[in-house]
Amino acid sequence: MFLDAYHSVQDSVVRITPEQASRFAKEVAGDFNPIHDTDARRFVVPGDLLFALVVGYYGLSERMTFRFRGMVGRDLPLRFPDTDAGAFTITDDGGREYLEVQREGERILDVPVLEAFIRRYAAFSGRNFPEFLEPLMREQGMMFNPQRPLVLYDSMAFELTAAPSPALGMDLDRSSLDVDGKRGEEWLRFRIVDGGTLIGTGSKKVVISGLQPWDEEVMQAFISDYTSRRHHFAP
C-alpha cells in the first residue's frame, strides 16, 4: 500500500520519521500546520497518519472511533497490537497510550477501497484550515496564537451504512466552534458519499488552545503565508 512510504516496520515496531510524517501531512492531507515541519521544535506526527496506518493495518469496520491520547514525536517506536478485538490501543514500548481505537461490524479489507478512504478522509481533514476553521474563529471573534498555533486532533468517528467503492467521496455537512476562555472545541460533521448516494456519516473533533481576540491583519498575514506554503510545495 502507498503508506509504506510514510512509515517503517522492524521487529514488529512501527516508526515514523519526521520526514515521512511531514511528507504525509503535505502530500496526502494538504496540511501545512507548522508543528508537522521536520524542524519544528515541538514536532508532532499528524493524527491523520496514525488514522491511516490503523485503517491500513486493520481494515475498515462499519463503525469506528479514534481517540487521540498523546502526541507522537519524532522516531517514536509504536506498537500496533496483533488483535481481532473490538477495542485496542496504540502504545509505545513503555506502554504510554497514543491512540485508542474502537470498531464494530463487518470489516472491509479491499486495498483500493482502503486507500481511497484514507486519501479522501485525509484530504477532507486537511481542509480544516483555513477553509473550515477560519470562518468559525472569525464568527466567535477569537483566533489561535499565530506564533504557536496549537490546533490538535482530539477524536474522529464514522459509521458506514453501505460498503464503499474506490469512487467514494467526503464533504462537510456542518461545523461548529465552542469557546471557553482560551480553549476552543471545533466539530466537523461530514458525509460519506458514493455515486451520489449517502453511505455514511462521521465527525472530527479538534481542540484549540491559546485562543486570543481576533486580529484581522495578523490572521490574514498568517493565512497568506500558510496558503503560499501550500501553493509552492513541490512533492
Q: List the one residue out of 46, 28, 176 whose CA is nearest residue 115.
A: 28
pLDDT at residue number 122? 98
Q: pLDDT at residue 11 above 90?
A: no
Alpha-carbon span 161 to 189, nearest angstrom: 16
Query: What top-level class would CATH report for the domain 2-232?
Result: mainly beta
Q: pLDDT at residue 7 above 90?
A: yes
* 18, containing H or E segment: helix 18-27
Q: Where does the pLDDT of residue 210 fall: very low under 50, low under 70, confident under 90, or very high at 90 and above? A: very high
Predicted confidence (pLDDT) per residue in 28-70, tens digit: 999 998 889 999 888 999 999 999 999 999 999 999 999 999 9
Predicted confidence (pLDDT) per residue in 185-206, tens digit: 999 999 999 999 999 999 999 9
Alpha-carbon span 200 to 179, nearest angstrom: 28
Predicted confidence (pLDDT) per residue in 145-161, tens digit: 998 888 999 999 999 99
The three cell numbers locating residue 103? 470498531
Q: Report CA 99 to chain centroid distance, whole Å.
A: 12
Predicted confidence (pLDDT) per residue in 66-120, tens digit: 999 999 998 899 999 999 999 999 999 899 999 999 999 999 999 999 999 999 9
Q: pLDDT at residue 231 above 90?
A: no
The separation between the first and the last C-alpha atoms of the chain, rounded to the nearest angstrom, is 18
pLDDT at residue number 213? 98
Burial class (CB in 10 A: 0-12, 13-18, 19+), 169: middle
